Amino acid sequence: MRHRETRSILAFVVIAYAISWAIWLTGIVSIDGMTGIEDERFAGFLLAGSFGPTAAALVVAGFAGGRAAVVSLLKRLILVRVNWRVYIATFFLLPAIGLVFYLVLGISAKIAVWKIAVTMIALVPVNAFMSGIVFGVGPLGEEMGWRGFLQDRLRGRTRSIAAAIIVGLVWAFWHLPAFRFADFRNGLSWPQFVVLYPISTILIAFIMGHLWRWSNGSLFIAMFFHAALNTTAANLMRDNWWNFGDLTALQIYVIILAILALTACAAELLSRMMFRKAAAIRP
């Protein structure tokens, strides 16, 4: 990797962290009695801080490449003409693997499985758009940074696994101010979450790295997968849908990690079999 590119990446990371953390920590300090990330009084801070990676990407791209680089980055938002199979993988690969894995493990449902399947799989494009993008936090503010800038700078220069580790670790610890809240940690203790959460973001970064290559760098695809991921994860952890029995929060999280690992393996397999030409594309 060229020295100039390394400086650009470091500048992006510093600016993204600085903007997001400044906004989030301001909210955390200024809100009395805040005990969880879902506190309604924190919603505005949470949303504004999520755009730190986007702001950093635009700033660094502008300084490094001028107006042309910024325009090129923005054009990726409307890059929707991709292979139809990329859309299938974006929306349905993760929820399908998640649902099947739950059934194989014998995790029983509290409601009819067909209703869960309709919501998790058949309606995932609608739910991803409404819950993940329109009313959600994350995809719109983050993806121009993580995929549009960071993944793109690593693409073609670093092996996919190494790139996933770099993106995944940067992405994971960008959330560090939220680690203090139990609802963000999904019931895990702080030490457990510090170890396991980065594993989850690395696996997700590996999956999204493949989608990034298959779609030739479409931020539209990246945002919708991020949204589908958020809604799928929420659905897989619904205690009003699933009978988890004696499973602990740690065991449930490990199961989610296994689903992400299986999806990563499936993405790698698809890349070698179905998307070999797309996987060879370089910027």
What is the predicted pLDDT for the residue at 40?
92
**Is residue 268 in some structural domain?**
yes
Q: Are 278 and 214 in contact (CB under 8 A)?
A: yes
Flag whether 4 is in a domain: no
Q: How many domains does the chain have?
A: 1
Q: Is 135 exposed, middle or buried (0-12, 13-18, 19+ CB in 10 A)?
A: exposed
pLDDT digits (tens, 9 = 90+) for 79-135: 999 999 999 999 999 999 999 999 999 999 999 999 999 999 999 999 888 877 877
Strand residue runs (E) in the chain:
108-109, 242-243
Look up tokens 């390394």; give the residue. 6
Of 64 and 208, the structure prediction assigns the larger pLDDT to: 208
Whether 85 maps to a domain, the answer reads yes
Judge whether 20 and 53 are in contact, CB under 8 Å: yes
Comparison of pLDDT for 283 and 239, the residue scoring more: 239
DSSP 108: E
pLDDT in tens, 218-233: 999 999 999 999 999 9
Determine the average pLDDT of the residues in 131-147: 87
pLDDT of 279: 45
- The answer as to whether 47 is a domain residue is no
Instruction: Give tens-digit pLDDT for 25-59.
Output: 999 999 998 889 989 999 999 999 999 999 999 99
d(CA 39, CA 33): 10
Single pTM value for the model: 0.93
- Residue 9 covered by a domain: no
188 in any annotated domain:
yes
Cβ-count burial of 237 within 10 angstroms (0-12 exposed, 13-18 middle, 19+ buried)?
middle
Quick check: is 158 in a domain? yes
Q: What pLDDT shows up at residue 282?
A: 40
Q: How many residues does the chain have?
A: 283
Domain span including residue 106: 81-279
Instruction: Give tens-digit pLDDT for 168-207.
Output: 999 999 999 999 999 999 999 999 999 999 999 999 999 9
DSSP letter, residue 134: I
